[in-house]
Each structure stands twice: as C-alpha cells, then as structure tokens.
Amino acid sequence: MGRKSAQFSEAAQAEILAEQKKKQPPHIYRRLLALKLKAVDGMLSKEVGTITGLHETSVNRIVSRYQKEGIEAIVGVRHHHEHRYMSRQEEENFLRQFQVRSEAGQIIETREIHLAYEKAVGHQVTRNMIYYLLRRHKWRKVVPRSRHEKKASPEAIEAYKKNHSICENPEKEPAKASGDVPGRGWVRAD
C-alpha cells in the first residue's frame, strides 16, 4: 500500500516560494525550506528531514500545520514570551513610587516591592518575577561605597607613614635576635 503524499496547489507553491525569498530568522527559514522541498520539489519527509536537519515527524507537522492554518502558522509569531501581569508603562508607574523614596535616601528592599506588586496584581507572584521586573527597568542593587568620603588622600597617607615610621616608645623592648627559642629542638639555624 502506497503512502499518501501531500498535495499542493499552484497558488500554495507560489506563496511558499514568495515567502521563502524574504529575509527570515533561521528557525522560520528551516520550516519554509522543509515546506518548499515537500510542496515544490515533491521530496519524501525523510529526505527533507536529512537536508533541513529536522526529524521527518517535524516535517510532517509543518506540512499539516500549513495545510490547516496557512502560511501564517509557519511564519507568524506562535509564542508571545512577554507573559507579564502589567504593561511596561504600568510597571514604570508602579516602580515610580519606589524611585521617589530611593531618591529621598530611603533604603528599599525587594520584599517591600514584592508585597506591593502582589497587592497590585491581586495574586501571588514569585520573588524572581520581581528581580526580572527590576532588571527590565535597569534597576540595580546599590552597594555601599568602597571608600569613605572623608578618607584621607593616598598622598596624605604616604606622608603620614614617612613621618611616623620610627616609633620612639621607651616602654617597648627591641626585638630579640634568633637564638635559643624555648620549645624548639636541638637543631636550630644560627
């Protein structure tokens, strides 16, 4: 019993060829190439899979999806990766209240932002969601400064070291020369 092959009209073949000539991202180009090899060249799914780097089942799915939904199913955006609870503008407005507080010198913790965000959207969200939100809007963790603002300059520190290097403390004993040190064995370096 023979295999059933996909049938494509002249208009469908022309549509596939026209779409393939456009500049496409690599994953969409691969789908269009698979569709073109099946529709225009009449190749088997296994051969198409070998050429495009897809499995023959994937090739059959691409053809089936094209026949059911048209070229938009192959070329169009299938996944919207922005699953947010607020739009960008709403997020900016939400963060503005914390920005005003931070500019006034107050310390803001992510716990506060997290609780306020959950209250604003009306349900629980993960703490990572808050970190993604802050990164999206180019907020960063403010680290305490590495140097005190009233610290002396490096020149002043060096001048102090030069002037105070000789300690004339009469109560302090001079260092002993290495000699007989209690607790050492009979071998010693003299």
Say whether pLDDT at 170 is over 80. no
190 falls within a domain: no
Q: For residue range 51-93, what is the model confidence (pLDDT) as tens digits?
A: 988 999 999 998 888 888 888 888 876 665 566 788 889 999 9
Whether residue 18 is found in the same domain as residue 65: yes
Q: At a CB cut-off of 8 Å and minimum separation 6, what does 33 contact?
A: 20, 51, 52
SS (H, E, C) 32-82: HHHHHHHHCCCCCHHHHHHHHCCCHHHHHHHHHHHHHHCCHHHHCCCCCCC
End-of-domain residue from the set 75, 98, 123: 75
Q: For residue range 33-49, what is the model confidence (pLDDT) as tens digits?
A: 888 888 888 888 899 99
Whether residue 102 is found in the same domain as residue 132: yes
End-of-domain residue from the set 49, 75, 101: 75
Q: What pLDDT, on a 0 to 100 scale, did the predictor assign at position 117?
A: 95
Q: Count up the domains in the chain and report the number.
A: 2
Domain of residue 41 covers 10-75
Within the chain, where are the H helices? 10-21, 26-39, 45-52, 56-69, 72-75, 88-103, 110-121, 127-136, 154-163
Whether residue 61 is found in the same domain as residue 34: yes
* The pTM of the whole model exceeds 0.85: no
Kindly state the tokens that stand for 139.
Answer: 């907020």
